[in-house]
A and B are shown apart, each in its own frame.
Chain A
């Protein structure tokens, strides 16, 4: 009885997210170089929620993510995480960058790249190899520990970056178009893997993408930004059943309706 409850526990947050807000934007405005990039954005992301942000290019979606990460400081308004102001990046908030090739250390092997995160959280050297093996296995790279990033495909490199982020044991994952540069098949495989990893860890996710179907497929909620300056233009709650399936989920009438709605939104925002 107790065992089965414990085994189910990690899955619960993703399927039934508690109402507690974890990442909160309150009237956030950001000016960079005399230009307003993001204007008066207010937004609450619940703990364990999978939030997708979409928008036409240049609408400030990456900027919004960087504000959530603490890499930018708002010109006015507040970004908080678990109630604390985000003045700088936090170790329990991991960032998956789009350009995985630049975000990995080319002089370290796959194991070494994961180890970097373990070193910073102060894990003793003796415990690292086992944890590295475990993490690489989790992202589907069990036999590539000794490879350098340059010897890996794009999909593998992005998996490696995700493994490094998981090594931080993050409460939240911030993903900036992580699969934008990958081919369609690899992307679908990674989408499912990310859903599984997130369901297992219960982490909150903000996922920036320009792929509308990806946003609907992954998210509990999708927010669409309007450009110049970036502000929230649409907010859709995605009530598709989980676990999601690449074929059946994408064939559901509700999926198609949401896709139509977002498509119209993007088209109107670009006009």
Chain B
């Protein structure tokens, strides 16, 4: 197992070393590239002066707030649509015409309505997160074992109890998977909004470094965003495995 991990790490390490050697040997002067060592130094400096910590806080706060809002809306709608077929048919056109709108295309409207800052970013992230959670939780509810629904009918569970005691627990592993996907989307959209226009967070940090002609700092931000995304996914996967057992990860490409 450990040896396998080392094998997987061999390629990136070799690439980094090669890049470092090549950058030093050729003595490049670039606005887009920097030797790995300079990137590492810039990253440490950004941590030391606290700038990257504040930016991380802003980005994650917006991403998670958006994920929570979008997740709550998507989950409640998804469950309702999964349970009530007539409601689903009623909403079908509305949902299918809203869903293809790229969330980032809402930026101009959100900016006019809400101005710069957290609120605008949270709204856009939430819009992006609603759809995967809605679609997947609706599918999760629809695929619940029909026998369990009959058991709840035979026991005459109240509608609230049916949702709380049967539908949500039965759909939970797949709903969690939807949240994991949406968490990745939330981070991507948050950084995109910051790069495009919002002067907070990691995206804005990249833009500032670029305009200051600091490729080392720019790439340090990029590296850090990658690490955050990786940590987020790993953390959620561990939580999923811990909560639902290995069965929940089956068919998940791992």
Number of interface residues of A (CB under 8 A): 20
At the interface, yes or no: A155 with Cβ under 8 Å from chain B? Answer: no
Q: Are B150 and A116 in contact (CB under 8 A)?
A: no
Q: Are B153 and A71 in contact (CB under 8 A)?
A: yes
Q: Are B148 and A94 in contact (CB under 8 A)?
A: no
> Which among A101-109, A187-195, A241-249 touches the partner chain?
A101-109
- B137-159 Cβ-contact flags toward A at 8 Å (1 or 0): 00000000101101101111100
Q: Are B161 and A120 in contact (CB under 8 A)?
A: yes
At the interface, yes or no: A45 with Cβ under 8 Å from chain B? Answer: no
Once A105-B166, A120-B161 are accepted as A-B contacts, the answer to whether A95 and B154 lie under 8 Å apart by CB is yes
Residues facing A in B130-188 (CB within 8 A) are: 145, 147-148, 150-151, 153-157, 161, 165-166, 169-170, 172
Distance in angstroms from A175 CB to nearest chain B CB is 12
Number of interchain pairs (Cβ within 8 Å): 45
CA distance A116 to B153 in the complex (A): 12
Once A105-B169, A107-B169, A116-B165 are accepted as A-B contacts, the answer to whether A88 and B153 lie under 8 Å apart by CB is yes
Q: Are A120 and B157 in contact (CB under 8 A)?
A: yes
Which single residue of chain B is at the shortest CB-CB distance from A107? Answer: B169
The answer, among A91, A102, A105, for a CB contact under 8 Å with B156, is: A91
Once A105-B166, A105-B169, A107-B169 are accepted as A-B contacts, the answer to whether A116 and B148 lie under 8 Å apart by CB is no
Q: Are A94 and B145 in contact (CB under 8 A)?
A: no
Q: Are B145 and A102 in contact (CB under 8 A)?
A: yes
The answer, among A71, A99, A102, A119, for a CB contact under 8 Å with B154, is: A71
When distances are taken between beta carbons in the complex, the residues of chain A under 8 Å from B147 are: 97, 99, 102-103
At the interface, yes or no: A86 with Cβ under 8 Å from chain B? Answer: no
Once A105-B166, A120-B161 are accepted as A-B contacts, the answer to whether A97 and B151 lie under 8 Å apart by CB is yes
At the interface, yes or no: A163 with Cβ under 8 Å from chain B? Answer: no
Q: List 13 A-B contacts (CB under 8 A).
A: A71-B153, A71-B154, A88-B153, A90-B156, A91-B156, A94-B154, A95-B150, A97-B151, A103-B150, A105-B166, A107-B170, A108-B169, A116-B165
- The residues of B with any CB-CB pair to A shorter than 8 Å are 145, 147-148, 150-151, 153-157, 161, 165-166, 169-170, 172
